[in-house]
């Protein structure tokens, strides 16, 4: 069994040898559905409507340090350079972190003041739409009112299990301009991330064998 496991690790490593990725980078592919749209000024030009499908991904580095390590309740993991960030598409419109000015956060809250566990991602600076409309906020927040999802505020190495959460809100907006409210229906690691996580799990198995 040990020989087989070593062979599997070797094959996967060779397969990924040409991929310029770091083992710490995690990319989560997500899909969602638009619930409501507030765009009285027609800044979105009628291109986003309730029921539209959202597709995209976000990337973060598991080696990122908590900006406030002394706080046992909330972990804030800020990213200030690509490929950290989020990209979402609704039809032909793309909402994404500005790659020239990245300020992207993954926040983990473990039994906060409201008695919730929370998983939050947010992009502060984003690229404008093709018509010049600015995009102020791209954010996704999950809440578990039982506070049973997390044991601490450490950064997860995989996607959240959507079945564990009571609240699921994906929002894209610009203050006094437009607001899109949606929810995420699927969150899965992209293929290279899956292979990298499999390598780690297999190597741990080999080490214990």
Mean pLDDT of 15-39: 77
**Phi (first) and psi of residue 59, to 5 degrees:** -130, 135
Provide the strand spans (E) within 117-166: 117-123, 137-144
pLDDT digits (tens, 9 = 90+) for 31-64: 999 999 999 999 999 999 999 999 999 999 999 9
Helix (H, G, I), strand (E, B) or coil at 42: coil
Average pLDDT over residues 159-184: 97
The answer to whether the beta carbons of residues 117 and 151 sit under 8 Å apart is: no
- In a 13 Å sphere around the CA of 101, the CA atoms on its Cβ side amount to 7
Q: Residue 15 phi/psi, 5° resolution?
A: -65, -35
The tens digit of pLDDT for each residue in 110-164 reads 999 899 999 999 999 999 999 999 999 999 999 999 999 999 999 999 999 999 9
- What tokens were used for 21? 């990725």
3-state SS class at 99: coil
Of the candidates 163, 74, 84, the one whose C-alpha atom is nearest the C-alpha of residue 119 is: 74
């Amino acid at each position: 069994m040990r020989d087989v496991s070593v062979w599997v690790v070797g094959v996967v490593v060779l397969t990924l040898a040409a991929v310029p990725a770091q083992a710490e980078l995690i990319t989560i592919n997500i899909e969602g559905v638009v619930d409501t749209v507030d765009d009285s000024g027609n800044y979105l030009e009628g291109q986003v409507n309730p029921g539209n499908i959202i597709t995209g991904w976000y990337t973060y580095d598991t080696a990122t340090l908590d900006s406030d390590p002394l706080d046992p309740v909330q972990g804030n993991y800020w990213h200030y350079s690509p490929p950290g960030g989020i990209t979402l598409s609704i039809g032909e419109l793309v909402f994404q972190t500005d790659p020239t000015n990245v300020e992207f956060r993954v926040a983990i809250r473990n039994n906060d003041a409201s008695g919730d566990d929370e998983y939050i991602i947010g992009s502060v600076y984003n690229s404008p739409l093709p018509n010049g409309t600015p995009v102020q906020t791209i954010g996704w927040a999950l809440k578990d009112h039982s506070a049973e999802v997390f044991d601490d505020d450490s950064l997860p190495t995989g996607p959240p299990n959507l079945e564990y959460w009571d609240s699921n809100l994906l929002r894209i907006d610009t203050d006094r301009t437009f607001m899109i409210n949606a929810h995420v229906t699927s969150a899965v690691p992209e293929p290279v991330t899956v292979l990298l996580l499999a390598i780690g799990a297999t190597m741990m198995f080999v080490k214990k064998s």
